[in-house]
Amino acid sequence: MPRFPRDDTLAISSVQNLLLDWARRYTPSDDISEEITRDTLLAMAVRPELRDNPDLRLHLFRVLHQVARDHIVAPAARCSSMSGQDDAP
């Protein structure tokens, strides 16, 4: 796994590449991986307090994990509950 630099001048493309590598571990879909990456970056951008965590690498992963769950688990649960409705009398 690549080391996350502690330098504040880290280019956004480096962060984006790191997040994309992590997102690809959640899904084989490139489109979903890119959505997870984009939404993680947006979450970090709109809430600057998220970036103030002393262990930024760990915090990025936690945010990405939550975003990935929102993209993968929530839609699967909706599909599962909808399929259960089809079986009802």
pLDDT of residue 40: 93
Each residue of 38-48: b (16+ CB within 10 Å) or e? ebbbeebeeee
How far is Cα 48 from Cα 4, in angstroms, rounded to an integer?
19
Confidence (pTM): 0.69
- The residue ranking higher by pLDDT, 56 or 21, is 21
Alpha helices in 1-89 (DSSP H): 12-23, 30-46, 56-86
Could you tell me the residue ranges of all domains in the chain?
Answer: 13-84
For the segment 10-35, what is each residue's pLDDT rounded down to a tens digit?
566 788 899 999 999 999 999 999 99
